[in-house]
Each structure stands twice: as structure tokens, then as C-alpha cells.
Structure 1
Amino acid sequence: MNVLLDEVPVPVEQFSRAPRYLSIALTNACELRCAYCYAPKHAAALDRERVVAWAVELDAAGCLGVGFGGGEPTAYRRFAQLCSDIAQSTSMAVTFTTHGHRLTPELVESLRGAVHFVRLSVDGVAATYERLRGQPFAAVVQAAGLLGSLAPFGINAVINADTVGELDDLAEFADEVGASELLLLPEQPTAATPGISDADAQRLVEWAAAARNGVRLAISRTGLEATLPTVEAVPGERPLDAHMHVDATGVLRPHAYAPTGLSVGGSIMKAVQALREAR
């Protein structure tokens, strides 16, 4: 049976208590030093048993998926075991975002059956990628090949002054390696970078508006609110119903870029409710 999301109105009080999706920064550790990365640089990592307990609680409250990031999630101790534990103890989708340089055939095999989607970060192609990330581009091509044997995967790309001129190349790369989606992320302001400029944001919007075939395109609207038309994924959804984020110190935030949040105590759902009330 197919039902449009707005075909059968559902009272707000019957919405799931949990956000549809929770992103979790397992660790701040990452061997790359990308100047535009917004992730905190101080050492921090979450306790694995605590993360599993959160997942079980979220699942019971109607959450559909958790996505692991960082830092670099594959640098997290016993990462594959964590994914397996959550896949076996909940009905949620398990995803993660990775730079790909720690992927090995052995790690991919240990993740098989425990993850449902992976995002591979590729900021620019060829020489641009190597200049920005300090790693060989050939290695990320190899990582894409490994992921293709594991699960559906997408390509993430931060768009800034260095990469906005390579949008066609990024789309071609994503299509060539068999990615199911190309997600474009406008650069966010950090201590070291100002974020995407208005001119580059406009170039991104105009490029996205042009007709093209190939890989499915998605764009984060954060930073593009004034220039990018958007639609509601779920009609009537409240601001914090779609997504929340937990950082590597256990602070729940509205999203990964948010400067403040609430520390998660013994219950992730109590923290979710408290954050909604605080907003």
C-alpha cells in the first residue's frame, strides 16, 4: 500500500517522541587536518555501552536511524562491534560518514550486515582533493570501491571557493564510482574559515538548478536559507522532530553546527524533551 505523507493527516501528539534521525559524533579523533572542518579538536570519545543504550531507547521511541561521524568514526575503538550491536538490538538504520582512508577489506567485512548506508567525504577531485585533505586521491577512489561491496553509499562534498568550480567533476566522479547520491555541503564558518561566500553560494544554487542526468543530488540548506528553495520532508514536522546531534562529549544539540546544547544524562529521550522545551 502506498500512502502519501500528507494524504492521511496525523495529529502532532501522535508523532514519534524521538527525532527521525540522530547523528552521533563518536570521537573527535581524525588524522586529517582540513582547515574548514567544524568538528571540535579536543580529545573526546563516547562510551560504547552508553551509545548502545541510547540507541535502544531511541528505537523504542520511534527513531528511524542513527548516523555515526566524528572526527572519524572508523578511528573509534571497536567501531564494527558497535554497529553490529545496534543493528542486532534495534530496528533502526545504521549509517556512518567517513573519509575512507582507514577502510580495509577486513574492516569492511566486519561491518557487513551491520550498516545500511555510508557517506564518503570527497572534497574536490584529484589535485584539489590532495591539497585540501593531504591524502592521495587514488586512496579515496579505492575506498569507494570497498564501500560498493558493503552497502549503498553516497558522496559528501564541502563546497567552498576551492571546490565550487569542480561541481561537474564531483558529479561525474560520484556517478563513475556507483554512488547513489551526491550530497553538497556549503562550507560553514569555523575559527579558521569564513564559510561559503554569497557569490559561491549563488554559483552552487545555479549549478544545482541546471538540468542534468546521473547521480541523485542533495544539498544541505544550512547556510543557503536565503537562496535555496526547500520543501518539508514531512509536512507539519516540528523543528526538532527531524534531526538532533550528540557530540563526542555527550552533549545533545539541535544540529552539529549548533554552538550550545544539553548534556545527556541517564536518558537520551529525557534530554531530547528538555532540548525541545528549551527551544
Structure 2
Amino acid sequence: MKIRLGPDGMHVFDRRTGLNVLLDEIEPPKRAWATAPRQVSVAVTNACDLACSYCYAPKHRAVLEKSDVFRWMDELDQAGALGVGFGGGEPTLYRHLPEVCAHAAEKTDLAVTMTTHGLRWNADLISRLRGTVNFVRVSVDGVGSTYERLRGRSFTQLRAALDAIAGDFRWGINTVINQDTIGDLDALVAVAAEHGASEFLLLPEQPTGGTTGAGEETLRVLQEWVAAYTGPVPLATSAQAELGVSTADALPREVGLRSYAHIDASGTARASSYAARGVRIGEDGVIAALEQLAQVEAA
């Protein structure tokens, strides 16, 4: 169990089960508050072996040094962060992935999550990650021919990968919602339930250099679908989306960079993976960069 002190009280977290307990009757002094965000996502590489047209991830070559990731995780852990989420690009293309996950599991109290397309999860990779990753989020945009058209890979291959992942990890599905995938939501829930997913995360498509994002009609249909949803897999959504998904704001004073930050594959700290502004992490460490970023965001 890890304890994080902040403006909302004492937060107790168990990375093995995902249990969160807030003791809001406790009022820690400000000097005792955690200085790290609660959760930090880390793009370990920009490399990806897919070419989805709506992908927002940077396309220039960049990859993080293993020693930097180790050092940043140690610092974030000591400063009160609860978890890191590895992504990219495609994190399974990062050759040091098993090592950084093992470091987090063995040398820190951080929970490790991962966002992946799932297609490279074979028996060897699973054996190397087993026991070091607390939650896996698999990106699945549409089913059957929709998935194969958008992702350029076999949906049958994906189903086999989901079975393999579900055998050893708690996991959930991420779905980019756009005009191509909006009609597949019920089928996606069925796939998630069949393979034992514990979460279905809805991600309305964000505008990129080549796309305009989810349109008004798509968002309207999505909101209606959420309102009528009675499926077996719990829904979640991104912080940017307002879809009517039931959420509990247990930490109303822990917002912005106190709640979340992103580190891109060039070693730049940002408020989110979509944010244009950022601060390069230097020799003085990740917390110093985040403090500078907070000043930039407030300006």
C-alpha cells in the first residue's frame, strides 16, 4: 500500500488490486503534499508498426534512454506519484520495456500500466512482463472488417492476443470513437466481455494534423449510446470528453499537473500527450521540469 498526501486528504493506494481509499478527514499540511502528479504517462518510443490515419502521436524518431526512465521513475515515486503508464508509439517496440517495468515493480511502489495495440504480445513477451505490469490497455478500434481496414491487421490475430493477455494481466479496451467506429460499439463491448476485460475506455478522436477529430453527429450518437448503456463491462472516458459516463470526483482539489502529466519520447514534460507546450527534462530532474511547466501553464 502506498500513501499519498495532498489537498484532499490522505490517499491510500494498492497497486496490486487497484484499490483506492481517501481519508478526507485528515488535512495534511501543504509542506507534506506530494510534489509529483498522481499519474504520469511516458511515451518510451515514437516507433509504431501500424499507420492509423487518426493517430495523434508524434512521427519523428525518438526513444528514451533506459537510464533516464529509471531515474525519473525513482524521482516520481519518492515525490508521491502513484503510477506510470507506458505508451508510445507502440511500447512493445521499446527494447528495454521488460527492464523498465521490472525496475518499477522491484525498486519503486509505482503501479505500471501500459497502452498497446496488443499484436506483439506473444508467450516470450508475456513471460518477461508477468508480475511487473498492473494493467494493460489494448487499443481496439472497431471489430472485424472495420478493425482490419483501420489498423491493417487481422482481427483474428488480435483476438488471440487478447486471450493471451487476459491470461496473465488485468486489462481493458481503448477505442477511438469516430465515424468509422461509432457503429461497432455494441460489438466491441461483446468482444471485451468475451475476453474478460474489466474496462471499456471511450476516446473521442482528437484533431490532428491530418484529421478533424470526431464530428458533432458522432459525438451526439456516442452520448446517446452512453446514456442507454447497460452492458457488462464498466465504461470510462478521457478527461477531455463529456459523455455522461458516471464518475466520482473524489479528489476535486487535485487537478491539472497535480493529477496528471505526460513525458514524450524526446524527454519533454507536458500537461497531456496532446499539449503543444512542454519543458525539456534536464539534469535537475523531472520534478524541476514539472514545476517549470506549471509556471508555463499558469502564464
Same fold? TM cut 0.5: yes
Per mean C-alpha deviation after superposition, the further-off stretch among 13-22 and 185-194 is: 13-22
**C-alpha contact 2:38 2:259 (8 A) present in aligned 1:** yes
**C-alpha contact 1:109 1:150 (8 A) present in aligned 2:** no
- Number of aligned residue pairs: give it: 278
Uncovered stretches (5+) of structure 1, i.e. residues with no partner: none
Could you report, residue by residue, the CA deviation over 1:60-90 in whole angstroms, capped at 9, with x for unpaired residues?
Answer: 0000000000000000012112211221110
**C-alpha contact 2:57 2:88 (8 A) present in aligned 1:** yes
**Superposed displacement of residue 221, structure 1:** 3.6
**Superposed displacement of residue 4, structure 1:** 4.8
**Superposed displacement of residue 205, structure 1:** 1.4
CA distance in 2: counterparts of 1:239 and 1:229, whole angstroms: 20
Q: 1:129 to 1:5 in 2, by over 3 A?
A: farther
SS at 1:158's partner residue? strand
Aligned counterpart, 1:188: 206
RMSD: 1.9
SS at 2:92's partner residue? helix
The AA in structure 2 aligned to 1:86 is A
1:26 aligned onto 2:44: yes
Uncovered stretches (5+) of structure 2, i.e. residues with no partner: 1-11, 13-19
**Superposed displacement of residue 276, structure 1:** 1.2
Could you report, residue by residue, the CA deviation over 1:160-208 in whole angstroms, capped at 9, with x for unpaired residues?
Answer: 0000111111111111110010001000001111000111112111111
1:240 to 248, 257, 263: 257
1:145 aligned onto 2:163: yes
Aligned counterpart, 2:219: 201
The AA in structure 2 aligned to 1:263 is R
User: Equivalent residues in 2 for 1:123-134 (5 A)?
Assistant: 123-134=141-152
Aligned counterpart, 2:8: none
CA distance in 2: counterparts of 1:241 and 1:206, whole angstroms: 32
SS at 2:113's partner residue? strand
1:174 to 171, 174, 192: 192
The AA in structure 2 aligned to 1:163 is T
The AA in structure 1 aligned to 2:280 is S
1:66 to 62, 65, 84: 84
Q: What percent identity do the matched residue pairs reach?
A: 48
User: Equivalent residues in 2 for 1:198-237 (5 A)?
Assistant: 198-222=216-240, 224-225=241-242, 231-237=248-254
CA distance in 1: counterparts of 2:176 and 2:222, whole angstroms: 11
Per mean C-alpha deviation after superposition, the further-off stretch among 13-22 and 70-79 is: 13-22
TM-score normalised by structure 2 residue count: 0.88
The AA in structure 2 aligned to 1:38 is Y
**Superposed displacement of residue 269, structure 1:** 0.7
